[in-house]
Structure 1
Amino acid sequence: MGMESLYNEEDRRVVREFVNMLNESAYLVETDGTVVVANTVLAERLGIPIEEIEGGNIFELLPDDAARERRGSLSEVLRCGMPLVFAETRDDCHYLNSVRPVKDERGGIACLAFIGFDITDSKRTEDALRRANAELEGYGHAVAHDIRGPLAAAAIGADLLVMLAKQSDTATGWTELVKTAGLVRSNVEKAVTLVEGLLELAQAGNAPVRAEPLEIRDLVLDILDEHAREIRKREVKVIVPDSLGTVTADRIQIYQVFSNLIANSLRYNNSAQPMLEFGYLGVDASGRHRFIVRDNGPGIPSELQDTIFLPFVSGGHDRPGIGLSLVEKISAAYGGYARVRNDNGACFEIAIADRAVQTR
């Protein structure tokens, strides 16, 4: 079938049926950009009916930036007579495009075939994998650095124990022996806590496996009860609205989110009149419940603004610096986010989407 026969409606219908078998956009254009045949995927991506695409000029149908890209690729293929592959990003979507010359019986280029592959999902997966690998590498460096200290101290303590054991015939010797044994135990416990924290952080990114309707206000009040002694001692003003919404989620995971935010605010708020406030911002356009937890402390130092949710950036007395990382990873597992800004203190905002109720 010669290319001139594509102007026959029946032959164009046959070619159109073929290109419609593709799950990616495909179309044939003449050397001046006139569209001979196009498939429904292209029509859907452009939001233009097939009838208006075929017979039109592709450079006039596409957005300006895409039209310039196509014009350049068409000229290059006409010049060299070889297929061309190029990538482009448009409206947060990623495409891999192929342009191939279609030659007539005399070997000349009669038209060009364009196929656009939507690689957005693959690109996002690749980016997520790259971020995960970078995160994992960061964990490895952090753990190697942080665990070296307590293990080195434990090793020194063990050597000292041997020496003291040889001199333990006096009361002073036994006292030092017991003291050093306690030091060794303390540093080993620090190393164990670090490893357990890393495992907890790795599990926090898992998709929730259990879900139930949770009254967030009740959950927050339960956590505040655990800190009641400190709150009373420091006279912390706690503001909890009558409702914080209902979220369908895994109780343990959401508990971890608010528990770490509360602990963080209490730990770093050095105000003479400390305040801790909770708020529910409702559901956003993506169906995510939005919450804020704010305090009137010193806020987040500027040098930590971009790294506050990374593991081991800072830590309290009982955690190896993973609390806010847990908040971020769990929020992400629910299709949400964790953000922070300074607003007369630190103000954390989290978003969490509902999950289907799990039945056994």
Structure 2
Amino acid sequence: SGVRLLLEFRPIDAQLRVAREEQLLHQQQANRELIRNLAHEIKNPLGGIRGSAQLLQHELDDPQLREFTDVIIAEADRLQDLMNRLLSSHSMMRPAPLNIHDVLERVRRLILAEFPQLSIRRDYDLSLPELTADREQLIQATLNIVRNAAQALEGHGEILLRTRIARQVTLAKRRFKLALELQVIDNGPGIPAEIRDKIFYPLVSGRDGGSGLGLSLAQSFIEQHQGMIDVDSRPGRTCFSILLPISERT
């Protein structure tokens, strides 16, 4: 009877996994459309803000006051670049063979420079094959996730970067022979229960002063690579899991 029960539960587990993947896919698509709409609304007035700051700068003789217009112009340019990335299509991707561990080491260096008291451990599967992907998008997506963990830890605590191979994976209703599994695990307080199911929604943040765009942008970049991102969180352990296809579809 034990064998029969095992055989009966396996299809149920598979159905639950497929249902979860479909739910995440629909959420990603809805988030992407909302992000694009938000980006359009934000982008339109940015040119006016920047232009007005430039005009004001020409009228100011006090160098100290001109420092303020410099800040406005620089921030407008930064936001303009972010909006362009949010609005970029698949055609703007620059896929090339890369080693995921090179990406993770770049992210690790950036985060440790920003949070020097943080501990970032690595558990890499060095046998992983190369991945064809947009290097800058993967850096930005991973950076946003790791920075989110570092901020939740308030710069103190431990983050684990783990890579593994996954086999026979379904992503966006497509079956792949091999996929990369990347996990970002922290020992922080966990995601508040009231936003746990909405953590990838634009403008949703568990931190005062957070923009709520970092994880949405990460999800968008992962989705453009036909991948999937999910999170499991409880007090003392939060794990962001990313799946990215490696091999051709079976």
What is the TM-score with the length of structure 1 in the denominator?
0.47
Alignment match of 1:210 (pick from 95, 119, 134): 95
Percentage of matched positions with identical amino acids: 20
Q: What's the CA shift string for 1:269-289, capped at 9, x where partnerless?
A: 2264x1010223431432332
2:240 is paired with a residue of what secondary structure?
strand
Residues 139 and 307 of structure 1: is their aligned pair in 2 closer, same or farther, counting only changes over 3 Å? farther
Residues 349 and 189 of structure 1: is their aligned pair in 2 closer, same or farther, counting only changes over 3 Å? same
Residue 304 of structure 1 and its aligned partner are, at CA, apart by 3.6
2:189 matches 1:298:
yes
Matches within 5 A, 1:52-201: 133-141=33-41, 151=49, 158=56, 162=59, 177-201=62-86
Tell whether the 8 Å contact from 2:100 to 2:131 is kept in structure 1 after alignment. no
Residues 230 and 138 of structure 1: is their aligned pair in 2 closer, same or farther, counting only changes over 3 Å? closer
Match of 2:106 in 1: 222
Residues 202 and 310 of structure 1: is their aligned pair in 2 closer, same or farther, counting only changes over 3 Å? farther
- For 1:267 and 1:237, locate their aligned partners in 2 and report how far apart those are by CA, in whole Å: 13
Residues 141 and 209 of structure 1: is their aligned pair in 2 closer, same or farther, counting only changes over 3 Å? closer
Residues 187 and 225 of structure 1: is their aligned pair in 2 closer, same or farther, counting only changes over 3 Å? same
Greater length-normalized contact order (CA 8 Å, ≥ 6 residues apart): 2
Matches within 5 A, 1:13-52: none
Match of 1:243 in 2: 125
Match of 1:279 in 2: 162
Tell whether the 8 Å contact from 1:257 to 1:327 is kept in structure 2 after alignment. yes
What is the TM-score with the length of structure 2 in the denominator?
0.64
Match of 2:173 in 1: none
Match of 1:350 in 2: 242
| Residue-pair matches, total | 211
2:189 is paired with a residue of what secondary structure?
coil
The amino acid of 1:354's aligned partner reads I
* Structure with more helix by fraction: 2
Residue 139 of structure 1 and its aligned partner are, at CA, apart by 3.1
The amino acid of 1:309's aligned partner reads F
Structure label with greater radius of gyration: 1
- For 1:151 and 1:354, locate their aligned partners in 2 and report how far apart those are by CA, in whole Å: 43
Q: What's the CA shift string for 1:97-143, capped at 9, x where partnerless?
A: xxxxxxxxxxxxxxxxxxxxxxxxxxx9xx96x77554432333455
- Structure 1's unaligned 5+ residue stretches are 1-90, 93-123, 166-176
Residue 263 of structure 1 and its aligned partner are, at CA, apart by 2.6
Residues 229 and 131 of structure 1: is their aligned pair in 2 closer, same or farther, counting only changes over 3 Å? closer
Residues 189 and 313 of structure 1: is their aligned pair in 2 closer, same or farther, counting only changes over 3 Å? farther
- For 1:216 and 1:320, locate their aligned partners in 2 and report how far apart those are by CA, in whole Å: 27
Alignment match of 1:264 (pick from 108, 126, 148): 148
Q: What's the CA shift string for 1:149-196, capped at 9, x where partnerless?
A: x939x66x939x85x75xxxxxxxxxxx22221111211221221121
- Structure 2's unaligned 5+ residue stretches are 1-17, 20-24, 170-175
- For 2:43 and 2:192, locate their aligned partners in 1 and report how far apart those are by CA, in whole Å: 24
